[in-house]
Amino acid sequence: MGRTFSETKLVIASHNQGKLREIRDLIGPLGIEVVSAGELGLPEPEETGSTYIANAELKARASAEGSGLPALADDSGLSVTALDGDPGIYSARWAGPEKDFSLAMQKVEDGLQEKAAAGNTDRSAAFVCALTICWPDGHTESVEGRIHGDLVWPPRGANGFGYDPMFVPAGQDMTFGESDAGWKHSISHRAVAFEKLLKRVGLDQAANGAGDNAG
Q: What are the residue numbers of the active site?
A: 75
- Would you give the end-to-end CA distance of the chain in angstroms? 29
What whole-number distance in Å separates Cα of residue 133 and Cα of residue 171?
32
Question: DSSP character for 42?
Answer: P
CB-CB neighbours of 54 under 10 Å? 17
Q: What is the CA radius of gyration of the chain?
A: 17
The residue ranges of DSSP E strands in the chain, in sequence order, are 9-12, 33-36, 71-80, 124-134, 140-151, 167-169
Residue 52 near residue 144 (C-beta atoms within 8 A): yes
Residue 89 near residue 51 (C-beta atoms within 8 A): yes
- Using omega within 30 degrees of 0 as the cis cutoff, is the peptide bond preceding 29 cis? no
Residue 157 near residue 176 (C-beta atoms within 8 A): yes
Beta bridge partners of 141: 133
